[in-house]
């Protein structure tokens, strides 16, 4: 019974509309599915947004909309004030803590000027979203350093006027050990990068980032060292960018890499340009199906092009041999046939020599016998013609044996 009372009290407190206080220009969502969500209108609110003016509950999730202007650090005032007092003990574990900055709509969309100090004392944040903003002063050095670490950083829509080698300095993106679902994602989607490339070293500080998404950014090139320091990178997605060449060895040293998408790029099919197909096979990395050489005479899937044009297949399957009429003839077979032919030739020569020698021997034997017969005939004639002794040869006298 006592447990039932506790349960009823807990449900009452959880479901009862929360009475909250918010600064001018900000409203609190009373939807129970959005506990701790404040939405502020930049055109109405007064800066700074002060932490103490958000009460019951704390501003765990804060959205600022219709931004068109500066998000100042100190002059004429701060953008955010007192957020170092964020009460982590009151944090609702059903939700992450995040800040969303969305600029005003229109053509062009609103601009937002952010710099080192804009996010002062907001290291409690787990996610940051910047949407539809023209970042006209780009991403200055150390701009996110006050945040220290996020598990999601999304810049979507709008444009980035410039990047710096130290834009991400003293900041990192990683999978959070305290969140049940954490991504470790850096996502630049539909945001134009002025100049079509990132400044050398821009990604270097992100040594623990898990996923990088670069989609529709107007990128025309990537430097060889672009991702060289992202040693824990597992997923890399590059989509819808007019990149013509993927630098050879761009993925070297990324031992954690498991999946890469290179979709809707402007690659030209050549064996030099699709080198990455073999690299991914050798390193057990999955390549998304959309890697297409779109600037070639015949648009082809990069993998298909590679295997049709850039691979010399070993028709002998590793056994030493040569290709003859489209088939493999192993060397041991060639040697065997050669030795067989040689043996046949030697056999024929031997037989010829034997026959020749036999014929020669028979000829000599016949000549010798003929001479013996001739001599015996002469002896017979002599005996037949002798009259001195008047002796006659025996009637049965024959030539000696062997004559």
Bridge partners (DSSP) of residue 11 are none
Share of the chain above pLDDT 70, in %: 84
- Per-residue confidence (pLDDT) for residue 18, from 0 to 100: 47
The pLDDT of residue 402 is above 70: no
**Among the listed residues 112, 259, 118, 294, the one whose alpha carbon sits nearest the alpha carbon of residue 191:** 112
Name the pLDDT band for 9 (thresholds 50, 70, 90): very low
Name the pLDDT band for 205 (thresholds 50, 70, 90): very high
Q: How far is CA 234 from CA 174, 183, 210, 301, 329, in A?
A: 12, 11, 5, 23, 44
Whole-model pTM: value is: 0.75
- Per-residue confidence (pLDDT) for residue 11, from 0 to 100: 42
pLDDT digit string, tens, across residues 210-236: 999 999 999 999 999 999 999 999 999
Residue with the bigger pLDDT between 163 and 15: it is 163
Domains of the chain, start order: 26-243 (3.80.10.10)
Cβ neighbours, 10 Å, residue 203: 24
Mean per-residue pLDDT, 154-174: 98
pLDDT digit string, tens, across residues 364-394: 777 777 777 777 777 777 777 765 555 555 5
**Among the listed residues 233, 271, 274, the one whose alpha carbon sits nearest the alpha carbon of residue 252:** 233
Rounded Cα–Cα distance for residues 378 and 372 (Å): 10
Rounded Cα–Cα distance for residues 119 and 131 (Å): 16
- Per-residue confidence (pLDDT) for residue 395, from 0 to 100: 56
The pLDDT of residue 240 is above 60: yes
- Per-residue confidence (pLDDT) for residue 78, from 0 to 100: 92
Rounded Cα–Cα distance for residues 22 and 9 (Å): 26
Name the pLDDT band for 14 (thresholds 50, 70, 90): very low
**Among the listed residues 238, 243, 236, 227, the one whose alpha carbon sits nearest the alpha carbon of residue 293:** 243
Rounded Cα–Cα distance for residues 300 and 291 (Å): 9
């Amino acid at each position: 019974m006592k447990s039932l009372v506790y349960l009823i009290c807990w449900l009452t407190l959880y479901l009862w509309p929360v009475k909250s206080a918010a600064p001018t220009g900000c409203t609190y969502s009373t939807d129970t599915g959005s506990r701790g969500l404040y939405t502020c209108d930049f055109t109405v609110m007064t800066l700074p947004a002060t932490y103490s003016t958000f009460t019951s509950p704390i501003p765990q999730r804060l959205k600022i909309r219709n931004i068109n202007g500066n998000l100042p650090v100190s002059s004429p005032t701060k953008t955010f004030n007192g957020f170092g007092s964020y009460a982590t003990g009151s944090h609702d574990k059903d939700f992450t803590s995040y800040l969303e900055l969305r600029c005003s709509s229109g053509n062009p969309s609103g601009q937002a000027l952010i710099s080192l100090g804009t996010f002062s004392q907001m290291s409690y944040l787990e996610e940051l979203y910047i949407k539809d903003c023209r970042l006209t002063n780009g991403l200055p050095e150390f701009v996110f350093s006050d945040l220290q670490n996020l598990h999601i950083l999304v810049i979507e829509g709008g444009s980035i006027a410039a990047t710096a080698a130290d834009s991400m300095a003293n900041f990192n993106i990683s999978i959070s050990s305290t969140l049940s679902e954490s991504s470790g994602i850096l996502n630049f989607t539909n945001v134009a990068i002025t100049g079509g490339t990132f400044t050398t070293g821009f990604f270097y500080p992100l040594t623990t980032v898990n996923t990088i998404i670069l989609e529709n950014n107007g990128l025309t090139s990537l430097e060889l060292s672009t991702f060289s320091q992202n040693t824990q990178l597992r997923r890399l997605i590059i989509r819808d960018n007019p990149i013509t060449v993927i630098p050879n060895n761009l993925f070297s040293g990324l031992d954690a890499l498991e999946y890469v998408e290179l979709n809707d790029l402007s690659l030209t099919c050549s064996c030099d340009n699709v080198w990455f197909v073999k690299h991914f096979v050798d390193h057990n990395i999955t390549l998304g199906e959309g890697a297409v050489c779109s600037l070639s005479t015949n648009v082809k899937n990069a993998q298909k092009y590679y295997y049709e044009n850039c691979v010399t297949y070993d028709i002998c399957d590793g056994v030493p041999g040569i290709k003859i009429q489209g088939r493999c003839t192993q060397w041991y077979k060639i040697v065997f046939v050669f030795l067989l032919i040689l043996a046949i030739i030697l056999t024929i020569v031997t037989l010829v020599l034997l026959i020749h020698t036999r014929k020669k021997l028979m000829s000599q034997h016949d000549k010798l016998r003929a001479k013996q017969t001739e001599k015996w005939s002469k002896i017979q004639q002599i005996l037949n013609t002798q009259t001195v002794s008047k002796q006659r040869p025996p009637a049965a006298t024959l030539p000696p044996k062997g004559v």
